[in-house]
């Protein structure tokens, strides 16, 4: 039995006993861990609110045989509060947490890249502070899905043919084949999405947000359907929170051409979502959704994601 510290995102909580909870954490160095937080459901608890889903915390844990025990919690970024009052953000965050849990099937198996990607995703969802343009939660979620799939080793191709590598764009998309498929490789029943939808997914995978934000609502809807289908195909059970994601489009751009979400005149949907103050150290590791070089060769996309994240992980001990 021993104590250890780690940074962690709270993925899920479950009631246990009279006043305790089992907290599922995705930690930076120890992978997915489940730990008992004793007495957190009492109003006098020191760290009840710090252990809600989405919270990024510095935790101290006592290693147990099956479940660890939480002994200290220090909030690093209160993402839970930032998403709580905004339904589209909240539902996107819930789907991200569930996806992260499902893509880290083995407890205590280090999953630092998934941890960094999740922090980057939550950060993109709630901010980042002072961002000139707010990213639509649905797009952030889809970027997270295609990236975390790539980290899990199931990177999809959205341009070159996933089977023979023939350069794209191609009109076919088949989840079982690994993404875009050319005319000769195209299996029966392959989808035929609009080229713009595949292009959008490629932009999200590459971190090309200028390209992604130029997409239409129609492309976004189709792209999110493809991303969801790709994710669900690789998992035994579906992601329960995915169909609940609120993808209601935000208001169209103002007639004078300004962005509707320029940060100064947010719609009612964002009212009350507080800005998150983060420790400086976090800024160095979190913006992973931006980190990748634009347009990596699609066939090697997973490799590029991996090496970019390994570099980011290495630069932040
Ligand atoms: Zn082919």
> Domain residues for 39?
3-77
In this structure, the number of other CB atoms found within 10 A of the CB of residue 185 comes to 18
CATH value at residue 304: 1.20.1440.120
Buried b (16+ CB within 10 A) or exposed e, 205-232: bbbbbebbeebeeebbebbbebbbebbe
149 and 233 share one domain = yes
User: Ligand 1 centroid vs 236 CA: distance in angstroms?
Assistant: 27
Portion of the chain with pLDDT greater than 90, in percent: 60
More confident residue, 199 or 268: 199
114 and 239 share one domain = yes
In this structure, the number of other CB atoms found within 10 A of the CB of residue 244 comes to 13
Beta bridge partners of 116: none
CATH value at residue 51: 2.40.50.140
User: Ligand 1 centroid vs 227 CA: distance in angstroms?
Assistant: 20
The strand pair at 172-174 and 31-37 is best described as unpaired
Residue 18, Cβ density class (10 Å: 0-12 exposed, 13-18 middle, ≥19 buried)? exposed
pTM of the model as a whole: 0.80
92 and 45 share one domain = no
Among residues 77, 103, 123, which one ends one of the domains?
Answer: 77
CA distance 36 to 22: 4
User: Ligand 1 centroid vs 146 CA: distance in angstroms?
Assistant: 21
149 and 215 share one domain = yes
The strand pair at 56-62 and 179-181 is best described as unpaired
Residues 265-292: tens digit of each pLDDT:
333 334 444 455 555 545 444 444 554 4
225 and 199 share one domain = yes
Among residues 32, 50, 77, which one ends one of the domains?
Answer: 77
CA distance 310 to 252: 38
Q: Are 187 and 118 in contact (CB under 8 A)?
A: no
Q: How many domains does the chain have?
A: 2
Residues 85-115: tens digit of each pLDDT:
889 999 999 999 999 999 999 999 999 999 9
CA distance 127 to 257: 22
User: Ligand 1 centroid vs 7 CA: distance in angstroms?
Assistant: 43
Question: Mean pLDDT for the chain?
Answer: 82
User: Ligand 1 centroid vs 294 CA: distance in angstroms?
Assistant: 24
């Amino acid at each position: 039995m021993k104590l250890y510290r780690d940074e962690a995102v709270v993925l899920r909580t479950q009631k246990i006993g009279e006043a305790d909870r089992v907290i599922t954490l995705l930690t930076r160095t120890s992978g997915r861990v489940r730990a008992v937080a004793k007495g957190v459901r009492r109003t006098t608890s020191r760290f009840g609110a710090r252990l809600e889903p989405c919270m990024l915390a510095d935790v101290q844990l006592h290693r147990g045989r099956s479940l660890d025990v939480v002994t200290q919690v220090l909030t690093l970024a209160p993402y839970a509060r930032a998403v709580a009052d905004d339904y589209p953000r909240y539902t996107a965050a819930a789907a991200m947490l569930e996806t992260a849990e499902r893509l880290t099937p083995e407890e205590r198996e280090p999953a630092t890249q998934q941890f960094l990607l999740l922090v980057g995703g939550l950060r993109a969802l709630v901010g980042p502070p002072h961002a000139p343009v707010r990213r639509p939660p649905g797009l952030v979620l889809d970027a997270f899905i295609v990236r975390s799939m790539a980290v899990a080793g199931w990177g999809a191709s959205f341009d070159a043919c996933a089977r023979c590598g023939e350069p794209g764009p191609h009109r076919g998309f088949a989840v079982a084949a690994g993404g875009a498929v050319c005319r000769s490789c195209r299996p029966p029943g392959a989808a035929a999405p609009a080229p713009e939808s595949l292009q959008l997914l490629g932009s999200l995978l590459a971190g090309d947000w200028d390209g992604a934000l130029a997409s239409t609502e129609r492309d976004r809807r189709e792209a999110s359907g493809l991303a969801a289908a790709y994710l669900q195909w690789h998992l035994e059970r579906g992601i329960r929170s995915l169909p609940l994601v609120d993808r209601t489009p935000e208001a169209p751009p103002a007639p004078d051409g300004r962005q509707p979400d320029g940060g100064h005149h947010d719609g009612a949907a964002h009212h009350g979502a507080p800005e998150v103050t983060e420790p400086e150290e976090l800024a160095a590791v979190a913006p992973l959704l931006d980190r990748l070089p634009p347009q990596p060769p699609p066939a090697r996309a997973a490799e590029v994601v991996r090496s970019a994240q390994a570099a980011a992980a290495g630069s932040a001990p």
